[in-house]
Chain A
Amino acid sequence: MPKLIIRIFRVSPCLSRTYPMTTYMYPNLSLENNKLDNGGGGRDFRGISRFYKRSTATRDQTIVEDDKTVGEWSTDSPRITCRTVDVHYGAKLAIDKISLDIGRNEVISFIGPSGCGKSTLLRCLNRMNDTIPGCRVRGEIKLDNEDIYRDDIDVVTLRAKVGMVFQKPNPFPKSIFENVAYGPRIHGLASSKEELAEVVEISLRRAGLWDEVKDYLGHPGTGLSGGQQQRLCIARTIAVNPEVILMDEPCSALDPIATARIEQLIDELRELYTIVIVTHSMQQAARVSQRTAYFHMGKLIEVGATANVFTKPLHKLTDDYISGRFG
């Protein structure tokens, strides 16, 4: 704390200003006593030091309720509903009683510090956590009113419906065409070569990659740039006709130009799909999503319209996180 005070004094020339607040010039002025008495006295204000109240001291308009989610966690006609979802990794509780609705044709971003459970919840939405030993999911997660954790659910079909794009682009070591054609082929979504070629073209067009690769479809996908590889992965996800696309920090390995292209793509894809994006970039969450959910230590702290969360969050923890006050 002393260090901070020293810094404030160093950067704040007004603390030695020539014209201080006139509280000292007109001591009799107040709202309670609406009289002005300057009477020629009290003008010599030089040398008066003033206790300076730090602007950060007043942040009392936010709510602090440790366990309760604040904001609009439910929506009308949601595509995905999560109710009291708990996830354990062995004995460790990774997410704790999270309830959240994800609407149709919306982009929702999950934000929060590392280890807060945002990626864990994301992976629950297409049962990617099934592959992690010791992971137990309790509660209810429904996609279009169907419980995705029912025993008779085909996980492969579920993962086609709820596709995923990862942090690091991971194209198959195959041609660009084969990268996109692989999914539709194994899911039987194309009955002929022509139809498959059409699916590949539509997917690459939707991913905004067609014009760049149409003459090189036989070239290896791994030969593309990072941003192109990520768009190829998005095309691969789109090719199996999903309803929901999950994105786990899709731009963290990309340069700003590639990031902007992915963000533009997310904006366009919103018309057709529900998109859930985990991001560490607050600005990216603010740019691409309509709703934002803030997680903290396994709890869903706040959900709301992105514009509100980033300008007037309801919860103090959200406020502290997005304004960079965690330490």
Chain B
Amino acid sequence: MDRLNDGHTVKSYDGELEHLHCLVLEIGGLVIHQVSEALAAFKSRDPELAQKVIAMDNEVDRLEVQTDDAVSKIIAKRWPLSSDLRLVIAASKSVSDLERIGDEAVRIAGMVIQLFGSESNEPNTLMLRDINRIGNLALISLRNAVEIFDVWDEEKAMRVIESHREMEEEFQGDLRHLLTYVLEDYRNIGFAISVILVIKALERIGHHAHNLAEHVLFRVHGEDIRSRQPFQDG
């Protein structure tokens, strides 16, 4: 058998694929930063930091356009096949998930400004504890999802997918928990709704991280696992 090269015969094709891969990772790094800063803004009740998170979204959008452009160029120029085709598809889908994660971070930042922007609102700090917990889970999930996109680790991708169940349970638990505050004192309802919106945004971030892991599995295996029921109990 011939000795095989690791890269393509046309080296610039390798460069273009690497460029695409790096763009996705760059957006990944940026949205992780965005989500963590949004959570930090919530924790420290810092509307200024929240403004910065919102401003970061322009950069995410710019990179998304750049990635879409890179995807179109590769398809038009190279007609990718096999693992290259799967990489291009996975990159394209992942970028759109990452961009939505960025949007969720902006939503959280918007809530920070709404809740802590004026002195008149003094929120119930007990309710905020739920945000920290689910926020950590979402961030861990997101960070792991971006990391496995970097190294194409199938096992870790499966674990991210499995960990999504914990996230769902946490979300349901938080909803029930917040309801008790509302039942206790109906004046909490306004603040509870805001917290629920933030928790929902974090739950969506976890869901997009789950999608990223699916894209990684598709890239590695060539199999679309969306049709499977990932959380079926045996």
Contacts and interface: CB of A to CB of B under 8 A. Distances in A.
Nearest to A310: B81
Nearest to B218: A312
Nearest to A283: B79
Interface string A212-244: 000000000000000000000000000000000
A7 B140 contact: no
Given A10-B15, A11-B15, A14-B25, A324 B85 contact: no
A25 B36 contact: yes
Interface residues of A, number: 55
A327 B16 contact: no
A14 B4 contact: no
B26 A323 contact: no
Interface string A43-63: 000000000111111110100
Interface of A: 3-4, 7-8, 10-15, 17, 19-23, 25-26, 29-31, 34-36, 38, 52-59, 61, 66, 282-283, 286, 296-297, 310-313, 316-320, 322-327
Contacts of B16: 11
A19 B11 contact: no
B156 interface: yes
Contact of A25 (B18, B33, B81): B33
A323 B83 contact: yes
B12 A36 contact: no
B131 interface: no
B6 interface: yes
A17 B63 CA distance: 12
A124 to B, nearest CB: 23
A326 B222 CA distance: 21
Closest 9 CB pairs of A and B: A312-B222, A14-B22, A11-B15, A19-B29, A36-B136, A14-B26, A327-B5, A58-B152, A19-B30
Interface of B: 1-2, 4-19, 21-23, 25-26, 28-30, 32-33, 36, 40, 79-87, 136-137, 139-140, 143-144, 146-147, 150-152, 156, 159-160, 163, 220-223
Contacts, number: 161
B82 A323 contact: yes
Contacts of A38: 36, 40
Given A55-B17, A325-B7, A325-B9, A21 B33 contact: no
Given A26-B143, A325-B9, A311 B82 contact: yes
Contacts of A30: 144
B76 to A, nearest CB: 13
Contacts of A23: 143, 147
A57 B144 CA distance: 20
Contacts of A31: 140, 144, 156, 159-160, 163
A283 B80 CA distance: 10
A319 B83 contact: yes
B14 A8 contact: yes
Contacts of A297: 1-2
Given A311-B81, A312-B221, A323 B8 contact: yes
B152 A55 contact: yes
B192 to A, nearest CB: 24
A14 B25 CA distance: 8
Nearest to B137: A34
A258 B91 CA distance: 35
Given A12-B22, A14-B22, A54-B18, 12 more contacts: A3-B11, A7-B15, A19-B26, A21-B32, A34-B140, A52-B22, A58-B220, A282-B79, A312-B86, A323-B80, A323-B81, A325-B6
B29 A21 contact: yes
Contacts of A8: 14-15, 18
Contacts of B136: 35-36
B23 A36 contact: no
B160 to A, nearest CB: 8
A324 B1 contact: no
B171 to A, nearest CB: 16
A85 B25 CA distance: 49
A66 B8 CA distance: 21
Contacts of B33: 19, 22, 25
A37 to B, nearest CB: 10
A31 B140 CA distance: 8
B149 to A, nearest CB: 10
Nearest to A23: B147
B11 A4 contact: yes
B152 to A, nearest CB: 4
B8 A22 contact: no
A61 B223 CA distance: 11
